[in-house]
């Protein structure tokens, strides 16, 4: 944590603010170790303040003891009437002139309350919006972070390995999702990384279908997209299978095309390559196979304390890949009202190439 704070301070020296306020839950945990969760968007379990001399975690009485136990390198401040009311005192302790804040997280309502509180106290401080300030540090994972994700990934994978022999026609998507969740919890997963997707038949053509009461049937695609959190870090994996024999040869072609696209893109990953070029390798292969326009989303996204974070691997992102970046490689083909295939692994950029973090292969190969 102290090393991460020092890295942040080096970046802070070149910013148009002298103090930075951290409200994004993952950023707060990354810099402080505080595991308090924000129960919903308009509620917060705490706020971290950093300048060149001080680190302070402001929270309320529900979390004071937890913060003191988890954040020995931080001063813990307990506010009694909410964050906004406490801002003049906190910023006074930091002698703040310009306060940087995460504009993706601070709502306009809370912003107004903070400004009013500072005005009422006649405290002169300028609020300066900022984007991706902490995220630019988080994008490069150290080995402990990669190890944590591999643990989460192993728990997730073994959950489906145990479930596969039990799947029978007539089981609902909801029932299968519940079995996955129970298995991950029983194996040590702390929580779901995101709501599980179990999509059968035509539902598999919906990339973010979720689950329904639809019963799975033989001969149709059955797509799983699931993951858990372990020690704060996420896993994200997709597999597509078929119960029994596929209903037609087109299913075999689509599956094989997606598998080849994933393999080709993964093999291309190395330091220095542009993320857009990696996406294009998979996208071009899918288009040449006759499925242009059927792969609508990006090839992948970063994974860490959040299940979706930098770097983005898509036609819309241009990022030079660096060692320590971890992201998904998840090409797909989706035919509306018919079905689809997505295959997703997690990959880490190494000094000379790529490491696939998954330990299990496909459950169905035509």
Q: pLDDT exceeding 70 applies to what percent of the chain?
A: 100
Residue spans in the chain of domains classed CATH 3.90.230.10: 143-356
Taking alpha carbons only, the member of 307, 299, 296 closest to residue 196 is 307
Q: Distance (Å, rounded) from C-alpha 315 to C-alpha 307?
A: 20
- pLDDT tens digit string along 229-245? 999 999 999 999 999 99
What is the structure's pLDDT at 207?
Answer: 96
Confidence of residue 365 (pLDDT cuts 50, 70, 90): confident
Superfamily of domain 2-138: Creatinase/prolidase N-terminal domain (3.40.350.10)
What is the structure's pLDDT at 243?
Answer: 94
Confidence of residue 39 (pLDDT cuts 50, 70, 90): confident
Strand partners, 234: 229
SS3 361: coil
Give the number of C-alpha atoms closer than 13 A to the C-alpha of residue 203, restricted to the C-beta side. 21
What is the structure's pLDDT at 249?
Answer: 95
- Is residue 129 within 8 Å of residue 101, measured between CB atoms? yes
- Is residue 116 within 8 Å of residue 84, measured between CB atoms? yes
Strand partners, 241: 222
Classify domain 143-356 at the CATH class level: alpha beta
What is the structure's pLDDT at 160?
Answer: 97
Confidence of residue 40 (pLDDT cuts 50, 70, 90): confident
Q: Distance (Å, rounded) from C-alpha 12 to C-alpha 9?
A: 5
What is the structure's pLDDT at 279?
Answer: 98
Relative to beta strand 339-342, strand 345-349 is unpaired
Across 344-364, average pLDDT: 96
pLDDT above 90: residue 107: yes
User: Which CA distances in Å does 242 have to 68, 169, 199, 225, 255?
Assistant: 51, 11, 12, 15, 10
- Is residue 29 within 8 Å of residue 232, measured between CB atoms? yes
Reported pTM: 0.95
User: Which CA distances in Å does 49 have to 33, 72, 232?
Assistant: 14, 15, 21
pLDDT above 90: residue 213: yes
Per DSSP, 172 falls in state B
pLDDT above 90: residue 170: yes
- pLDDT tens digit string along 65-77? 999 999 999 999 9
CB within 8 Å of 166: residues ≥ 6 apart:
179
Residue spans in the chain of domains classed CATH 3.40.350.10: 2-138
């Amino acid at each position: 944590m102290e090393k991460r704070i020092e890295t942040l301070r080096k970046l802070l020296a070149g910013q148009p603010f002298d103090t930075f306020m951290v409200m994004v839950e993952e950023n707060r945990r990354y810099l402080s170790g505080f595991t308090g969760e924000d129960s919903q968007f308009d509620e917060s379990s705490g706020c971290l303040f950093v300048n060149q001399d001080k680190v302070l975690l402001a929270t309320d009485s529900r979390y004071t003891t937890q913060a003191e136990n988890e954040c020995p390198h931080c001063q813990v401040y307990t506010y009694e009437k909410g964050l906004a009311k406490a801002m003049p005192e906190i910023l006074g302790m930091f002698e703040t002139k310009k306060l940087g804040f995460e504009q993706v997280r601070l709502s306009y309502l809370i912003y107004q309350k903070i400004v009013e509180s500072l005005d009422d106290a006649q405290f002169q401080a300028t609020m300066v919006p900022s984007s991706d300030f902490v995220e630019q540090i988080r994008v490069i994972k150290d080995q402990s972070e990669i190890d944590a994700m591999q643990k989460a990934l192993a728990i997730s994978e073994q959950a489906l390995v145990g479930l596969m022999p039990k799947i029978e026609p007539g089981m609902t998507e909801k029932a299968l999702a519940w079995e996955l969740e129970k298995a991950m919890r029983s194996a040590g997963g702390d929580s779901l990384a995101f709501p599980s997707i179990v999509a059968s038949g035509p539902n598999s053509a919906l990339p973010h279908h979720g689950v329904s009461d639809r019963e799975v049937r033989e001969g149709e695609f059955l797509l799983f997209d699931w993951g858990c959190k372990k020690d704060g870090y996420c896993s994200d994996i997709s597999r597509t299978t078929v119960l029994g024999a596929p209903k037609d040869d087109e299913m075999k072609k689509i599956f094989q095309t997606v598998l080849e696209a994933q393999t080709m893109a993964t093999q291309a990953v190395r330091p220095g390559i542009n993320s857009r070029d990696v996406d294009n390798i998979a996208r071009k292969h899918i288009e040449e196979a006759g499925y242009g326009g059927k792969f609508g989303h990006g090839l992948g996204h970063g994974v860490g304390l959040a299940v979706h974070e930098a770097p983005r691997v898509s036609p819309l992102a241009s990022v030079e890949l660096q060692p320590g970046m971890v992201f998904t490689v998840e090409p797909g083909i989706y035919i509306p009202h018919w079905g689809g295939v997505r295959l997703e692994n997690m990959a880490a950029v190494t000094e000379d190439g790529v490491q696939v973090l998954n330990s299990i292969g496909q459950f169905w190969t035509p």
